[in-house]
Structure 1
Amino acid sequence: MFEDLTKTELYAILTGIFTACLIVSNITAGKTFDFFSFTLPCAVIIFPVIYIVNDVLAEVYSYNKARKVILLGFFMNLVAVICYNITIWLPAPVFFENSQAFSIVLSSTLRLLIASFAAYLVGSLVNAKVMVYLKKWDEKKLFFRCVVSTLFGEGLDALIFITIGFLGTMPLEALIVMIVVQAIFKTGYEIIIYPVTRLVITKVKKLPEI
């Protein structure tokens, strides 16, 4: 899969994946679903992908390069939300019957953008920072680094995102449960998908630099 790529080429691909996932998550986060009697935002289905890419970037390319991808992703997310709101503002022709539905789905993204920007900015950077710090401490324990960095990153991400994005829209008890369950759910997801993360990191490390 990666044999014909260099690390530089793959870095560009991972940047695209990370950015696309952020934009998708900002839309899907507007809906929640029931998970064994717990409520979670639908964006959890793609959040773990972002942290897996984050782990690969931090482990292989360094914290500084991971930070650049994170900031670029948020900038493109901002561009997307601006486009959504301009599109909603533009008058629709009389034959376009889905204007209200379009607005309902996308008009809430401004608040969620602020929530996701703050959450990802803190969560992703902390995830990458912890990953790099633990690597300096012990380079051999990749599983430990991935899980601990995700636990820290996801914990802060869930706390910030759900508080900003959903405070006032549900009971406080449900909000707290949602934060805890989301952090556990996404960390558990990374544990399950760890073999894939390890395989990707191992293959990427073997690629030529240029």
Structure 2
Amino acid sequence: MFNLLWGALFVLVGFAFFLLCYRLFGKKGLYAWIGVATVIANIQVAKTIDLFGITMTLGNTMYVSLYMTSDLLNEKFGRAEARKAVWFGFFTLIMTTIIMQMALVFKPGTEDFAQDSLQVIFGLMPRLALASLTAYFVSQLLDVRLYAWIRRFYPKRSQLWIRNNGSTMISSFVDTLIFCSIAFLGEGYSMGTWLEILFTTYIIKFVLTAVGTPFMYIARNFHHEEDGAELPVQS
């Protein structure tokens, strides 16, 4: 019960900071969020928790917020801005991975206490790093394309939930499928266990996407000077 209640607060705080980042810093804040959330999500995923009798990883809230960010950029500034943000997040993830791998190579001092902990967090196997990078790149670019495509059929302001949920729920499944396939297939897991990991991870992302929808509506109504480029939508 504690993890459930704390998890609900954890999600609300994460999405609230997403709103605050955009409210205070505008489009630049969304780019900053992409960079920060990409790194945080890949750190949090190292921790597992028990919820409803299922073992799951953290990081899903931050990861869903990445889709929210690219969708919001797509909504207000167009597909090109959203695609640029995805490339920025991909660059941030590669940069962090390379720099931290190099940092781990240094021989720690005699008084050092952080090497072992950093090794656990950042010393990921190449297979997991490849899974994360590939899943992020493919699914985020797919989300940008899907959002623009769905917008052609559901362009009204009131239909934001269709654009947001439709693109994210499809692309997050692709993300989960790619990650689980690269990371876990052929690693000794039975097909039943692999399917359980795949679908429980996706269900969490599915629920978080729905929870994040009201935050998207709030963020869409924020206005900044650079919003002059906001794309028109039907009422």
TM-score, normalised relative to structure 1 = 0.87
The equivalent of 2:13 in structure 1 is: none
User: 1:116-135, aligned counterparts within 5 Å?
Assistant: 116-135=132-151
Flag the 1:4–1:201 CA change in 2: closer, same or farther, 3 A.
Answer: closer
Once residues 186 and 57 of structure 1 are traced to their aligned partners in structure 2, the CA distance between those partners, rounded to angstroms, is 20
- Separation of aligned partners in 1, 2:181 and 2:163: 27
Alignment-derived partner of residue 190 in structure 1: 209
Residue 73 (structure 1) shift: 1.1
The two structures have a TM-score, normalised by structure 2, of 0.78
Name the stretch that deviates more: 59-68 or 35-44. Answer: 35-44
Mean alpha-carbon deviation: is it higher for 87-96 or for 34-43? Answer: 34-43
| 3-state SS of 1:46 partner | helix
RMSD between superposed Cα atoms in Å:
2.5
**Cα distance change on mapping 1:29 and 1:166 into 2, 3 Å:** farther
CA distance in 1, matches of 2:44, 2:191: 22
Cα distance in 2 for residues equivalent to 1:100 and 1:22: 23
What is the Cα deviation at residue 130 of structure 1? 1.2
CA contact 1:60–1:204 (8 Å) conserved in 2 = no
Q: Which range moves more in the overlay, 184-193 or 128-137?
A: 184-193
AA of the residue aligned to 1:127: D
| Residue equivalent to 1:202 | 221
- In structure 2, how many angstroms separate the alpha carbons of the residues matched to 1:37 and 1:4? 38
Conservation of the 8 A alpha-carbon contact between 1:122 and 1:157: yes
8 A Cα contact 1:130 1:149, kept in partner: yes
**Alpha-carbon shift at residue 202 of structure 1 (Å):** 2.7
Change (3 A) 1:163 1:35: farther
The question of whether the paired residues in 2 share the 8 Å contact of 1:26 and 1:109 is answered with no
Deviation readout 1:42-77 (Å, 9 max, x if unpaired): 111311111111210111121221111111111121
Match of 2:7 in 1: none
Give, in angstroms, the shift of residue 99 of structure 1: 2.1
Task: State how far apart, in whole Å, the 2-side matches of 1:151 and 1:132 are.
Answer: 15
1:144 alignment partner, one of 162, 165, 168: 162
1:71 aligns with 2:84: no
* Identity of matched residues, %: 21
Deviation at 1:157, TM superposition (A): 0.7
Q: Which runs of 4+ in 1 moved over 6 A?
A: 1-5
Given that 1:22 and 1:73 are in contact with CA atoms closer than 8 Å, whether structure 2 keeps it comes out as yes
For residues 84-163 of structure 1, the aligned pairs below 5 Å read 84-108=100-124, 110-140=126-156, 141-163=159-181
- Which amino acid is the alignment partner of residue 186 of structure 1? K
Aligned to 1:181: 200
Measured in 2, the distance between the counterparts of 1:4 and 1:48 equals: 19
TM-superposed CA distance for 1:90, in Å, is: 0.5
Q: Displacement of 1:200 after TM fit?
A: 0.7
Relative contact order higher in (CA < 8 Å, ≥ 6 apart): 1
Q: Which runs of 5+ in 1 are unaligned?
A: none
**Is 1:22 the counterpart of 2:38 in the alignment?**
yes
Q: Distance in 1 between matches of 2:50 and 2:192?
A: 15
Task: Give the 3-state SS of the residue equivalent to 1:203 in structure 2.
Answer: coil
Q: 2:69 & 2:61 partners in 1: Cα distance?
A: 14
